[in-house]
Copies of this chain bind each other. A is one copy, B any other.
Amino acid sequence: MSTAWTSRYAQRTKGLKSSAIRELLKITQNPEIISFAGGLPAPDVFPTARFQEACRNVLERNAHQALQYGATEGYEPLRQMIARHIARYGIKAQTDNVLITSGSQQALDLIGKLLINPGDRVLVEAPTYLGALQAFNVYGAEYVSVLSDQDGLRTDLLDKPLRSGPKFMYVLPNFQNPGGTTLSAGRRHELVLQADRYGIPIIEDDPYGQLRYEGEHLTPLVVLDRENLRRDDGYSIGNVIYLSTFSKTLAPGIRLGWIVAPPEVIAKLVQLKQGADLHTSTFTQMVAYEVAKDNFLDEHVKLIRKVYRERRDVMLESLKQYFPPEVTWTHPQGGLFLWVTLPEGMSCQKLFQVALKENVAFVPGDSFYAPNGFTEEASRHFRLNFSYGQPEQIREGIRRLSVAVKHQMEELHAVAH
């Protein structure tokens, strides 16, 4: 007899499905289509020449180390650099607070592995990052969703969800994916206080924090938490684990993210990472260090901000110019995305089909909600990416999209009458 593999799959794979976005990306690879669906950085701002130089230096000077097995914790100088780098935001981390991960997605996977027992509830924003849901689902997570608005997670709605005893909260305070919204200073304080009151830890995911195009940088939750706990012993303890990545500031193709956490948590995550992939590529870590060092990263981030800010502005202007007044959208102060809200009765899924005919694509909003989290709400939204396309493509894409939107609105009115 031959084995039926499917009959042998573990319980946790039930209901597992491919990310809607990754499936979408396949559809939208048609070059005729202007796609706002991906979350891709602009390749024209990749620091290619600097990567060339870095590869040459690493392989000339340190090939034996770069091509060999390395420590699970990560390449020591890179960990030190990250600790120094985040100190400017008030995060008092030492090297042993930092674990290098194979992209920020692995950080989410390791967090899920570390904390989630089947049936545990995770408190998430509605909408939230779907990659986090994918990472947590496999460990049997269930969800408590809390709505967000222009100022991020609605902390006034937190009390009951927190009383239900979630294992942890997962939040993206800066230029949220998909919402494009930023958690206000007041709500940050409130969130940290409430987390402390109920003893619920926070996972603070901050992939876009450095990509701010206007306004003042707001204090990270991990810092507010330490202030709240009146700790001045550095980052020895706290309610918050902080995640970030080089994917949006250097390049996603090198798959480098990191976790900042108390040393005891890092030690446990290291054990889990040993079993998961031994360690992240020594070579890409050393190359990234070589690329980022001597303040190159800071200078490069300034360039990215300039380019993305222009693209955001073009998208905002085009939306204003072409879209009917019944449609609204967020005004992101940074990041890669904005979030559109359709009038009541309209469906982002139906719109998606019409938009494809107009050769333009986006991600329908319902991908970004946890199971049972505001399904009706979900159907009126979609996400637009403004980092990837050239300004003229963005303008043309939004024009096409407006045609699809108007078409759908007319149809809806026709049915109503």
Contacts and interface: CB of A to CB of B under 8 A. Distances in A.
Contacts of A284: 281, 283-284
Contacts of A108: 275
Interface in A40-89: 40-41, 43-44, 46, 48, 51-52, 55-56, 59-60, 63-70, 72
Interface string A109-141: 100011111001000000000010011011100
Chain A interface residue number, banded: 35 or more
B255 A280 contact: yes
B131 A278 contact: yes
A167 interface: yes
Contact of A168 (B8, B63, B272): B8
A5 B270 contact: no
A198 to B, nearest CB: 9
A272 B46 contact: no
A295 interface: no
Interface string A373-385: 0000000000000
A105 B63 CA distance: 22
A282 interface: yes
B63 A272 contact: no
A414 interface: no
Nearest to A231: B2
A134 B279 CA distance: 14
A281 B265 contact: no
A321 interface: no
B105 A276 contact: yes
B55 A10 contact: no
A335 interface: no
A177 interface: no
Nearest to A247: B69
B276 A253 contact: no
B229 A2 contact: yes
A99 to B, nearest CB: 13
B103 A277 contact: yes
B8 A134 contact: no
Contacts of A55: 52, 55-56, 59
Contact of A5 (B2, B67, B262): B262
Interface of A: 1-3, 5-6, 8-13, 16-19, 22, 38-41, 43-44, 46, 48, 51-52, 55-56, 59-60, 63-70, 72, 102-103, 105-106, 108-109, 113-117, 120, 131, 134-135, 137-139, 167-168, 196, 199-201, 229, 237-239, 247, 251-255, 261-262, 264-265, 268, 270-272, 274-284
